[in-house]
A and B are shown apart, each in its own frame.
Chain A
Amino acid sequence: MKVLSNLLIALLLVACAGSGNEKTSESKELNIYSTRHYEADRILSEKFTQETGIKVNLVKAGADELISRLEIEGEKSPADLLITVDAMKLNRAKEKGLLQPAEANTSNSPRFIEDEKYWYGITYRARVIAYDKDDVDVSDLSTYEDLADEKWAGKILIRSSGSSYNQSLLSSIIHSNDREKAKSWAEGIVRNMAREPKGGDRDQIKAIASDVGEVAIVNTYYVGLLLNSENEEEVQAGKKVGIYFPNQAGRGGHINISGAGVTKYAPNKENAIKFIEFMTSDESQKFYASNSYEYPVNSNVAPDPTIAEWGEFKIDNLDYAKQTDLNQEAVKIFEEVGWN
């Protein structure tokens, strides 16, 4: 079977030879492995090609799969840039020796540049509390930790622990408290859940609109999408919830950062840096802010009116993301407390 499939591959290789020789012109290309798959990204990368003449080649897949692929490919990897929607994933790639430091000229606020410049932030989303405007008194809300309190019994909506956003959140809670406290927090949340964890972030907000629960932990980005949905009913659902930024008196609200890191064996390192500079430029950041309902990392650019309406907020630092083993701890805690 192996011999046969080899033969077949060889045949196909001949058949596809025409399309396979595009790798030769090195300087005018850029190969990206990305987990971001948004319309805004596509438009921006087309603009990048127009301005620089550099052709952008893109493979989009899940972060874990892409990191595995980079690992397996090693020196032979064609990738120049790894883009993920989670700082921890980038740090994991860094730890595995898949990235290299790069000197890019950006206006990113320093917290959105990795300490050793292994990666640069592109955008971020806040993981906030969405609450039922009718049933919840805002003054009852305070911190993520407080949601484990008995007073929220049967009211909390959140998606499953398979979501990397929840894994990041719990990681940050382990980081700023300790494992024991984080575990009892997770237990408390499970106890307080209005229903089994399921669905996506948007589904949690719609569940509030259906009066299944009263508070949900969601990313701002999805609320933005809901409020700008093509379906009028979704807009209505979005309007039923208020947005609360937790932990403002303490460490600040949890965020997920999208970032790009130059790969260790990047064949087109210069182009990769140009791309990072382009994506974080004032112009691109403005475009992101108004098209993807994410927060800009560039300190010169203000967020989109939709999300600016929720107000400014204090952000938690990304120190938790440096301890990449916290993510595994988080997953284990989820398993221990039965958070599906």
Chain B
Amino acid sequence: MFVVSNSLSIDIESLQESFPRLLPLYVKNTSLLLIGVCVVSLTIGVGTAWLVTIYDFPFRNQFEWILILPLSIPTFINAIAYVGLTDYAGPIRIILRWLGTDLYIDIMDHSGAVFVMALVLYPYVYVAARSAFILQSASLIEVSRSLGQSMSKTFVRICMPLSWPIIFSGLILVVMEVLNDYGVVHYFGIPTFTTGIFRAWLALGDLQTAIMLSLVVLLFVLFLVFLDSIIQRNKKISNENEDRILSRVPFKLKWIPFFICLLPVFFGFIVPVGQMIWWSILASTIEIWLQSIRFMGNTSILGLLSGTTVVLLAIVLSYSNRLSSKRWYSKSFPKLSMMGYAMPGAVVGIGIVTCIVWLNPDWIYSGIIALVFGYSARFFAVGYGQTDSGFEKIPSQFDDAASSLGKNSFTSLIKIHLPILKPVLMGAFILVFVDIAKELPLTLILRPFNFETLATNAFQYAKDEMAPRAASSSLLIIFVSSIPVYFLNRIIK
């Protein structure tokens, strides 16, 4: 929010003539990417969530959490892994040449970008869809089936419409990640709003165009927030009898769902991790590993501190919302902080430097405060969305009962709301933690002297086209984020 107001405070007078010329290009490329990634993420996310929730098949229990794992891979790292896999010196081509043939594979285009991004972003949709399907009372599904509806009809007519609000909130996170991505589109040479904002602001020093481009993105985010508020308003909260356990339907050909679920995990996790392991065997020494492990501590501390900050802020905001008016704009207003999430990180970073210098310049040099502040501003939307929808699920009668027993609102927050919300809050915390472990541009500009995280260490090599040396840190990013991802699944249960 600070960032937005900072950049808006400059008045918009003369626009470069390049703005109208480039806008259609950015709109076209960005929408192609958005549509592609959304369609693929929805298909994978909803499809696999449906399978693991409704059916029974081999390793179903394991798939529940394994399907989230790709989330731990930063999009840019996934991109270089796939380029490394398919380029001249990559294993596929080596094997092909060994077989006496060769084939030029080019992954660096629009569909390649959609592919590498969707494969690591679909878990946002998956997590949302699965928690939605679980929430739907089993009875609804059983009634529908007992009325002779087939499973697919039940899915289309009952489950999807009921789950759509929750799935949509997961999809919004995917949209934001695509909007703020700089690494992949820059590497693949695809001009989008992000690269346009970078170019206008940093290379051309043309603040006007940068602001106009940002405004277009912000308007789009505003539209999404509005759309979200409409969708969430129509949400029919299920009757929450979570005790009933859905009897899972055995799938006739039990290995079919197994392989369907294996596909995204294979391409979104096993393949890039495999490539990384191969690279680390090629390039990593013990020393590189020891160094990376040291950086893992920094990453973890940042994630813990900032995750906690975001969750605390989100609790305060959601709860004060709950206590005050219930109008849609008061609820949607904090969601505007999504704008910070949709902007490229470097732009947010410079905005935050401005803001910190304005507040108190000494802070930025005295440890990691600036970073915690920056992360909290950037990822607030991620934590808030989760927390707020969690609060909404608590019936207001609870509040009334507490106040009739003479408890003030603070006591009831501590004694009633927070215990109920524990899983939701943990989930919010974990999503923020994983995002922070993967974050780069903000970290680069806001970190104190001599401070490395796994991400900064991995990307400095990756950017300098020494991908193999980035492998050990990348693997540790994936490892650090995988642990919370594992717990995330247990929480949804």
A associates with B: yes
Instruction: A211 to B102: give the CA distance in the assembly, Å.
Output: 10
Given contacts A230-B282, A340-B190, whether A73 and B88 have CB atoms under 8 Å apart is no
Q: Which residues of A contact B21 (CB under 8 A)?
A: 335
Given contacts A5-B313, A16-B368, A61-B445, whether A199 and B464 have CB atoms under 8 Å apart is no
Q: Which residues of A contact B349 (CB under 8 A)?
A: 65
A-B contact pairs, 8 of them (CB 8 A): A31-B449, A66-B445, A68-B350, A78-B365, A162-B203, A203-B465, A211-B104, A237-B88
Q: Interface-forming stretch among B235-243, B355-363, B423-431?
A: B355-363
Given contacts A72-B354, A203-B87, whether A19 and B202 have CB atoms under 8 Å apart is no
Nearest residue (CB) in B for A207 is B88
Instruction: A65 to B182: give the CA distance in the assembly, Å.
Output: 14
Whether A233 and B464, one on each chain, are in contact in the complex, defined by CB atoms closer than 8 angstroms, is: no
The interface of chain A, by Cβ under 8 A from chain B, is 1, 4-6, 8-9, 12-13, 16-17, 19-21, 23, 31, 37-38, 57-62, 64-66, 68-69, 72-74, 76, 78, 159-160, 162, 164, 167, 195-203, 206-207, 209-212, 222, 225, 229-231, 233-234, 236-237, 327-328, 331-332, 335, 340
Give the distance to chain B from A149, nearest Cβ to Cβ, in Å.
23
Instruction: A202 to B372: give the CA distance in the assembly, Å.
Output: 36
Instruction: A46 to B187: give the CA distance in the assembly, Å.
Output: 32
- Does B35 make an interface contact (CB < 8 A)? no
Whether B357 and A73, one on each chain, are in contact in the complex, defined by CB atoms closer than 8 angstroms, is: yes
Give the distance to chain A from B332, nearest Cβ to Cβ, in Å.
15
> Most A CB atoms within 10 A — which of B190, B199, B366?
B366
Q: Which residues of B contact A60 (CB under 8 A)?
A: 444, 456, 460
- Does B346 make an interface contact (CB < 8 A)? yes
Instruction: A211 to B313: give the CA distance in the assembly, Å.
Output: 55
- Does B246 make an interface contact (CB < 8 A)? no
Whether A230 and B283, one on each chain, are in contact in the complex, defined by CB atoms closer than 8 angstroms, is: yes
Give the distance to chain A from B282, nearest Cβ to Cβ, in Å.
4
- Does B153 make an interface contact (CB < 8 A)? no
Which of A61, A195, A212 is within 8 Å of B444, CB to CB? Answer: A61
- Does B304 make an interface contact (CB < 8 A)? no
Whether B449 and A59, one on each chain, are in contact in the complex, defined by CB atoms closer than 8 angstroms, is: yes
Whether A59 and B447, one on each chain, are in contact in the complex, defined by CB atoms closer than 8 angstroms, is: yes
Which of B18, B87, B89, B188 is within 8 Å of A332, CB to CB? Answer: B18
Give the distance to chain A from B21, nearest Cβ to Cβ, in Å.
7
Whether B189 and A19, one on each chain, are in contact in the complex, defined by CB atoms closer than 8 angstroms, is: no
Instruction: A198 to B22: give the CA distance in the assembly, Å.
Output: 19
Instruction: A78 to B365: give the CA distance in the assembly, Å.
Output: 8
Instruction: A229 to B279: give the CA distance in the assembly, Å.
Output: 11
- Does B58 make an interface contact (CB < 8 A)? no
Instruction: A65 to B441: give the CA distance in the assembly, Å.
Output: 9
Nearest residue (CB) in B for A338 is B25
Q: Which residues of A contact B282 (CB under 8 A)?
A: 230-231
Instruction: A68 to B465: give the CA distance in the assembly, Å.
Output: 25
The interface of chain B, by Cβ under 8 A from chain A, is 1, 18, 21-22, 83, 87-90, 93-94, 102, 104, 106, 108-109, 186-191, 195, 198-199, 202-206, 282-283, 305, 309, 312-313, 316-317, 346, 349-350, 353-354, 357, 359, 361, 363, 365-369, 372-373, 376-377, 441, 444-445, 447-450, 456, 460, 464-466, 468
Instruction: A61 to B441: give the CA distance in the assembly, Å.
Output: 8
Give the distance to chain B from A230, nearest Cβ to Cβ, in Å.
4
7 further A-B contacts with Cβ under 8 Å, apart from A19-B367, A73-B357, A210-B93, are: A16-B369, A160-B186, A162-B199, A198-B189, A230-B468, A237-B89, A331-B203
Instruction: A181 to B465: give the CA distance in the assembly, Å.
Output: 32
Instruction: A212 to B365: give the CA distance in the assembly, Å.
Output: 49
Given contacts A9-B369, A23-B365, A58-B449, whether A199 and B204 have CB atoms under 8 Å apart is no
Q: Which residues of A contact B109 (CB under 8 A)?
A: 196, 198
Whether B88 and A233, one on each chain, are in contact in the complex, defined by CB atoms closer than 8 angstroms, is: yes
Whether A340 and B361, one on each chain, are in contact in the complex, defined by CB atoms closer than 8 angstroms, is: no
Instruction: A73 to B199: give the CA distance in the assembly, Å.
Output: 22
Q: Which residues of B contact A198 (CB under 8 A)?
A: 108-109, 187-190
Q: Which residues of B contact A1 (CB under 8 A)?
A: 1, 313, 317
Instruction: A153 to B135: give the CA distance in the assembly, Å.
Output: 60
Whether B316 and A340, one on each chain, are in contact in the complex, defined by CB atoms closer than 8 angstroms, is: no
Whether B108 and A162, one on each chain, are in contact in the complex, defined by CB atoms closer than 8 angstroms, is: no
Instruction: A106 to B110: give the CA distance in the assembly, Å.
Output: 49
